[in-house]
Amino acid sequence: MLLTMKVAFRNILRQKKRSFLLAGAIAFGMLVITLMNALTGGVVGNIRENFSHALGGHIFIMGREWTDAGQMIMKIRPDERLEQLLEEHGAQIEGFTRRSQAMPTMIFGSRQTMQMLYGVDFAEETKLLESLIVTEGSFSEIGTEEASIILPQPVGERLGVQVGETMIIRLETLTGQQNVGEVKVVAFIKDQEELGLSAAYTSRSYLNTLLGMDPHEYQLLNMFLTDLDMVDEFARVFREGLRAEDEEEEVVEAEPAVSVTVAGMPMDPMTEREELTPWEGTRYQIMHINQIMEAVELVVGVLNRVGQVIFLILLVVTMVGITNTFRMIMIERTKEIGTMRAFGMHQKQVKNIFLWEAVFLGLLGCIAGLFLALVISFIVGGIELNTDPSMQFFLDNGKITFIFSLTKVVFNTAIVVFISLLAAYWPARAAAKMSPIKALSSHT
Partner 1 sequence: MGIVELENVKKVYTLGKAEVHAVRGVTFSIEKGDFASIVGPSGSGKSTILNLIGCIDQPTDGIVSINGTVTDGLKDKALTRLRHETLGFIFQSFNLIPVLNVYENIEFPLLLGKDKRSKKEIREWIEFLVEAVGLGDHMHHKSNELSGGQRQRVAIARALATKPEIVLADEPTANLDSKTGQSIIELMKKMNAELNTTFIFSTHDRTIMDIADHVIQLLDGLVVEDTKRSAKVGNLS
| Distance of closest approach, residue 51 Cβ to partner 1, in angstroms | 57
Binding segment for partner 1 (CB under 8 A), chosen from 2-10, 119-127, 228-236, 394-402, is: 2-10
| Distance of closest approach, residue 354 Cβ to partner 1, in angstroms | 14
Q: Which is nearer to partner 1, 6 or 111 (CB)?
A: 6
Q: Which is nearer to partner 1, 397 or 441 (CB)?
A: 441
| Distance of closest approach, residue 41 Cβ to partner 1, in angstroms | 41
Nearest to 287 by CA among 107, 72, 58: 58
Does residue 390 bind partner 1 (CB under 8 A)? no
Binding segment for partner 1 (CB under 8 A), chosen from 104-112, 119-127, 260-268, 435-443, is: 435-443
Q: Which is nearer to partner 1, 14 or 305 (CB)?
A: 14
Residues 249-278 as x/- pattern, contact with partner 1 by CB under 8 A: ------------------------------
Q: Which is nearer to partner 1, 340 or 370 (CB)?
A: 340
| Distance of closest approach, residue 426 Cβ to partner 1, in angstroms | 19
Q: Which is nearer to partner 1, 387 or 444 (CB)?
A: 444
| Distance of closest approach, residue 1 Cβ to partner 1, in angstroms | 10
| Distance of closest approach, residue 436 Cβ to partner 1, in angstroms | 4
Q: Which is nearer to partner 1, 334 or 377 (CB)?
A: 334
| Distance of closest approach, residue 338 Cβ to partner 1, in angstroms | 8
Residues 329-358 as x/- pattern, contact with partner 1 by CB under 8 A: ------xx-xxxxxxxxxx-x---------
**Range 308-327, binding partner 1 (CB under 8 A):** none
Q: Which is nearer to partner 1, 3 or 276 (CB)?
A: 3
Nearest to 436 by CA among 336, 328, 326, 354: 336
Q: Which is nearer to partner 1, 175 or 347 (CB)?
A: 347
Task: Select from 306, 317, 328, 437 the one that contacts partner 1 (CB under 8 A).
Answer: 437
Where on the chain is the footprint of partner 1 (CB under 8 A)? 2-3, 6-7, 10-11, 13-14, 335-336, 338-347, 349, 436-437, 440
